[in-house]
Amino acid sequence: MKTGIKQISKITGFSPATISNALNRKKGVSWETSDRIFRVAREIGYLDNNNISKIKLVIYKENGLIIDDTPFFTLLINGIEQECSSSGYEMMISNLDARSPGYLEQAKQMINEPDTAIILLGTELSPEGLKVFKNAKCPFLLLDYWSLDMDFSGVIINNSDSVRMAINYLYGKGHTKIGHLGGKFKILGFRQREMGYYSEMRDIGLEVNPKYTIDLSTTMNGAYADMLDYLKNKPDLPTAFFADNDMIALGAIRALQEMGYRIPEDVSVIGFDDLPFCEISFPRLTSLRVPKQEMGRLAVRRIIDMMESEDMIHTKIQVCTEFIERDSVRDLTAASKK
């Protein structure tokens, strides 16, 4: 038996087998036990100071309107927490607000912590904001953001192809006048979804009418208010809309219904994310389901792989969505057959 493990056992009272399992991050050792063992191991010099025991989820905010107003991220964080726990790592969560006076100093401190790996939730991240992290000294992974300009690994949603699937579905249901409800705050995910909309409309030979592309606030109440203002002018509407996320879709549906439009008889709507609200809305919202918890788990597995193998290969993992058909899309082909 190694002298170090014997000494740790004497100090902590845990068996050598438990200590070995904890140090090798095997399942079956509680976080409290593992944390105690790692602290003692460092104190006696058994582990060097660069050994990583924590995975920190850094939630980046540029305005907080998207991060703070949807249950999407709660489910994503649950997946990260579950995988950290089962893999023997302590999980920490920090908020990093680009509007805060001490933002730059806080960011620099985070990326230089020797015993911590960082998963950066970059939903609201911009190319300029990403530059702050370019000199990260710790294992670093981007979640829900990607850039070719930075040498980071990332886990992202396959946004563009997912939207193409939704537009193709609407076309298959007989819709040729298809609009887009975009988010005013142009995060990367929304830009990619917009590209998917334009690409698929072009490929299937449908005209994009600028009057049918409407930017709304990204909160449910904000989207409702913006859509209500838009509808007061009694505009010509398409037979269907794709919305950048469920919050926008549900806010827009509420406004449409208040103005006398029937969903889906007059206007069909598809959302993105498949939040729990979709199942209880009226009508139930057709949406693209993102495997939120699995996406979080994937991020943890990837950063652990980076630490354990010490590889320098940067990878981009794209998570596919699942089309969830409910009640918010009208089948125009069925109507034409009558």
At 332, is the pLDDT very low, low, confident or very high (cuts 50, 70, 90)? very high
At 119, is the pLDDT very low, low, confident or very high (cuts 50, 70, 90)? very high
Q: Which tokens in the block code for residue 320?
A: 């596919």
Q: State residue 233's pLDDT score.
A: 93
Q: Quick one: what percent of the chain has pLDDT higher than 70?
A: 94
At 137, is the pLDDT very low, low, confident or very high (cuts 50, 70, 90)? confident
Q: State residue 170's pLDDT score.
A: 99
pLDDT of 2 higher than 70: no
Residue pair 75/297 in contact (Cβ under 8 Å)? The answer is: no
Q: Each residue of 194-239: pLDDT tens digit? A: 999 999 999 999 999 999 999 999 999 999 999 999 999 999 999 9
The larger pLDDT score, comparing residue 141 to residue 150, is at 141
Residue pair 187/200 in contact (Cβ under 8 Å)? The answer is: no
R_g of the chain, CA atoms, integer Å = 24
At 1, is the pLDDT very low, low, confident or very high (cuts 50, 70, 90)? very low
How many whole angstroms separate alpha carbon 124 and alpha carbon 96? 11
Mean pLDDT comparison of 39-53, 60-74, 101-115, 254-268, highest-scoring range: 254-268
pLDDT of 338 higher than 70: no
Query: What value does the mean pLDDT take over residues 52-73?
Result: 87
pTM check: above 0.75 = yes
Q: For 64-68, 238-242, 284-288, 313-317, which range has the lowest pLDDT when averaged over its residues?
A: 64-68
At 13, is the pLDDT very low, low, confident or very high (cuts 50, 70, 90)? very high
At 50, is the pLDDT very low, low, confident or very high (cuts 50, 70, 90)? very low
> In the chain, what are the domains?
3-42 (no CATH), 54-158+292-320 (3.40.50.2300), 159-290+324-332 (3.40.50.2300)
Q: State residue 221's pLDDT score.
A: 96
Please state the three-class secondary structure of the chain as a single string.
CCHHHHHHHHHHCCCHHHHHHHHCCCCCCCHHHHHHHHHHHHHCCCCCCCCCCEEEEEEEECCCCCCCCCCHHHHHHHHHHHHHHHHCCEEEEEEEECCCCCHHHHHHHHCCCCCEEEEEECCCCCHHHHHHHCCCCCCEEEECCCCCCCCCEEEEECHHHHHHHHHHHHHHCCCCCEEEEEECCCCHHHHHHHHHHHHHHHHCCCCCCHHHEEEECCCHHHHHHHHHHHHCCCCCCCCEEEECCHHHHHHHHHHHHHCCCCCCCCCEEEEEECCCHHHHCCCCCEEEECCHHHHHHHHHHHHHHHHHHCCCCCCEEEECCEEECCCCCCCHHHHHHC
Q: State residue 291's pLDDT score.
A: 97
Q: Which tokens in the block code for residue 334?
A: 């069925």
**Cα Dmax for the chain:** 83
At 3, is the pLDDT very low, low, confident or very high (cuts 50, 70, 90)? low
Q: Each residue of 145-169: pLDDT tens digit? A: 998 887 899 999 999 999 999 999 9
At 41, is the pLDDT very low, low, confident or very high (cuts 50, 70, 90)? confident
Query: What value does the mean pLDDT take over residues 100-114?
Result: 87
- Edge-first strand order for the sheet with 90-97 is 90-97, 54-61, 116-121, 140-143, 153-157, 316-319
pLDDT, the chain, mean: 91
How many whole angstroms separate alpha carbon 207 and alpha carbon 136? 45
How many whole angstroms separate alpha carbon 123 and alpha carbon 53? 26
Residue pair 145/156 in contact (Cβ under 8 Å)? The answer is: yes
325-328 long-range contacts (CB < 8 A, ≥24 apart) are: 325/169, 325/286, 326/278, 326/279, 326/283, 326/284, 326/285, 326/286, 326/287, 327/264, 327/283, 327/284, 327/285, 327/286, 328/253, 328/263, 328/264, 328/268, 328/269, 328/270, 328/283, 328/284, 328/285, 328/286
Query: What value does the mean pLDDT take over residues 233-249?
Result: 98
Distance of CA 151 to the CA centre of its chain: 20
Q: State residue 49's pLDDT score.
A: 41
